[in-house]
Amino acid sequence: MRRLLRRLRHWPDRLAHERRRAETIRAIRAAAPTRVVMGCLGNICRSPYAAERLRAAGLDLAVESAGFIGPGRSPPEEAVQMAAERGVDVSGHRSRQFTRDDLAPRTLVLVMEPAHVDRLAAQFGTAPGPVLLLGDLDPEPIETRIIIDPFGHSRATFAATFARIDRCVATLIESLGRGPGPTG
């Protein structure tokens, strides 16, 4: 019953995914960012992994990550291990909180949940550049727009979260004009 309720709650996300994906790609291309900030709640699992994955592409962009809570924290061992298995080193990462500078012009901010967009707007006001959901870039059908926070969850949850981030970052790279470009 619980699973059915969750599927029904996220049905609009699945239904609108292709349209949102195309809109997000257009917004990224129009923004022509010189800087990308990946964000999540604690800045210890999802956003550092996404930032390092993007940084590894070697694009001519400044790439950072930030969160809303607890500066100076290290990623949990599960995140470090899973990232390493995927060829990404997050072992030296230390969390930091979002600042107003993270919403500067020519900065693209990609967050993991719709609530993060709302929280940034409440905390800092409207950003001059786009604040978008990374999950909207997923080329596969989605269950929800949210990229699940794996903190405190199983190894399988970390693997699924990081696999989804990989797909979304690949689309981001293409959307920035550094690849053949996704259809849609």
**Catalytically annotated residues:** 40, 46, 149
Q: Report the 10 Å Cβ neighbour count for 165.
A: 29
34: tokens are: 């010189």
Alpha helices in the chain (DSSP H): 2-9, 11-31, 46-55, 77-85, 114-124, 155-173
174: tokens are: 């293409």
Under a CB-based contact definition with an 8 Å cutoff, are residues 41 and 68 in contact? yes
Distance, in Å, from the CA atom of 52 to the CA atom of 63, rounded to the nearest integer, reads: 8
